[in-house]
Amino acid sequence: QVQLVQSGSELKKPGASVKVSCKASGYTVAPYSMNWVRQAPGQGLEWMGWINTNTGNPAYAQGFTGRFVFSLDTSVSTAYLQISSLKAEDTAVYYCVRDVNIVNFDYWGQGTLVTVSS
């Protein structure tokens, strides 16, 4: 069955970097795009962008350029989200999400809580 399994919670200091992984199983990663969604504590969902699993090209939503990087290793069916120069406001749960056809977000990872605190 299709599963997206994300790496565990992270506690980081301001200014540090974090890399969240999302391992896909039960299907071939391409051609379905992989999206990333952020949810700050007590807040709603926020689309961060996506990565084309055929080409590896990422696209970022406004507000997620510069410090955020999406990448992919198709040999291990894993997508990654790297955030650099972490700030307190980056504290959130980050989800990877499969998209089968334009906002048809059918499978979600379990979420990774990233906490940024000194």
Partner 1 sequence: QSALTQPASVSGSPGQSITISCTGTSSDVGGYNYVSWFQQHPGKAPKLMIYQVTNRPSGVSNRFSGSKSGNTASLTISGLQAEDEADYYCSSYTISSTVVFGGGTKLTVL
Amino acid at 31: P
- With the C-alpha atoms ordered 107, 91, 68, 47, is the resulting torsion angle positive or negative? positive
- How far apart, in whole angstroms, are the C-alpha atoms of residue 112 and residue 89? 15
Q: How many helices (H) and strands (E) does the chain have?
A: 0, 11
| Cβ proximity to partner 1, 27 vs 47, nearer residue | 47
Query: Whole-number minimum distance, CB 25 to partner 1, in Å?
Result: 16
Q: In this complex, which beta carbon is closest to partner 1, that of residue 13 or of residue 103? A: 103
30 or 61: whose CB is closer to partner 1? 61
Instruction: Name the residue nearer to partner 1 (CB basis): 36 or 80.
Output: 36
Cis peptide before 58 (omega within 30 of 0): no
* Residues making up the chain, counted from first to last: 118
* Minimum distance of partner 1 from residue 92's CB (angstroms): 14
Q: Which residues bind partner 1 (CB under 8 A)?
A: 35, 37, 44-47, 49, 59, 61-62, 95, 101-106, 108-111
**Least CB distance to partner 1 at residue 102 (A):** 5
3-state secondary structure of 1: coil
Structure token pair of residue 106: 């059918």
State the nearest-atom distance from the C-beta of 20 to partner 1, in Å: 14
